């Protein structure tokens, strides 16, 4: 799955109406709802505050609202953009200030969808790659070689802690976990201690 790289706001003008799209991240539906409620309070002078969000580890929770616009002309096209981009953990709100010219159902749908799409392009997208943090403990005598071999594999370890032994955390792609453990055992002649931590994600920028 993917999510937005950062929060951001962009404005689009269509036939004198202003469409201001704001994107932010949210870990779940409660966080999304809290953000949207605060946004509505802050922009209560707007004609409409239309919303859409996708949350959940696999983007399985979706919601949208037309906020008074004709049914299906705002929230749904906004949500469709998020889904087409494969995003999760993402909240979109488009605040509209009516400019006096009616756009029709098709015009509204295009404007709301385009507002979200251009804002996603502006803030950027990252791929969420599942990883497991492995804590590796080695003897001082093995540290230089082990860290050098890590860098040769294109892996950047976390902070290195020096004590009785040397300890560092390595974010390992979940699909490569067993391979990494076998490699670490090989390069240290079985003298490394590996401890798996909690699963998580790393963010890899997606090239437009």
| Maximum distance among all Cα pairs of the chain, rounded to whole angstroms | 75
pLDDT tens-digit profile of 92-148? 999 999 998 999 999 999 999 999 999 999 999 999 999 999 999 999 999 988 999
Identical fold for domains 2-123 and 129-205, yes or no, is no
| Report field, pTM of the whole predicted structure over 0.85 | no
CA dihedral 21, 26, 29, 31 (to 10 degrees): -100
Q: Write out the two tokens for 120.
A: 């996603």
For residue 63, pLDDT beyond 80: yes
CA 16 to chain centre: 33
Does the domain formed by 2-123 have CATH 3.30.56.10?
no
CATH of domain 129-205: 3.30.70.240
What are the start-end ranges of the H helices in 43-176?
75-84, 104-123, 140-152
Domain residue extents for the chain: 2-123, 129-205
């Amino acid at each position: 799955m993917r999510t937005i790289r950062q929060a951001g706001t962009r404005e689009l003008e269509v036939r004198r109406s202003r469409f201001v799209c704001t994107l932010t991240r949210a870990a779940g539906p409660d966080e999304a709802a809290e953000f949207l409620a605060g946004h509505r309070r802050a922009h209560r002078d707007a004609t409409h505050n239309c919303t859409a969000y996708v949350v959940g580890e696999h983007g399985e929770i979706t919601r949208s609202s037309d906020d008074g616009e004709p049914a299906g002309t705002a929230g749904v096209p906004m949500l469709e953009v998020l889904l087409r981009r494969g995003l999760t953990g993402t909240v979109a709100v488009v605040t509209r200030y009516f400019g006096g010219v009616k756009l029709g159902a098709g015009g509204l749908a295009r404007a709301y969808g385009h507002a979200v799409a251009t804002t996603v392009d502006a803030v950027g997208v990252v791929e969420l790659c599942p990883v497991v943090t492995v804590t590796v403990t080695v003897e001082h005598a093995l540290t230089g070689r082990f860290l050098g071999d890590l860098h040769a594999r294109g892996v950047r370890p976390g902070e290195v802690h020096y004590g009785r032994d040397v300890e560092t955390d390595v974010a390992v792609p979940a699909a490569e976990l067993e391979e990494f453990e076998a490699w670490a055992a090989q390069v240290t002649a079985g003298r490394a201690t590996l401890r798996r931590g909690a699963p998580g994600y790393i963010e890899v920028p997606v090239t437009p």
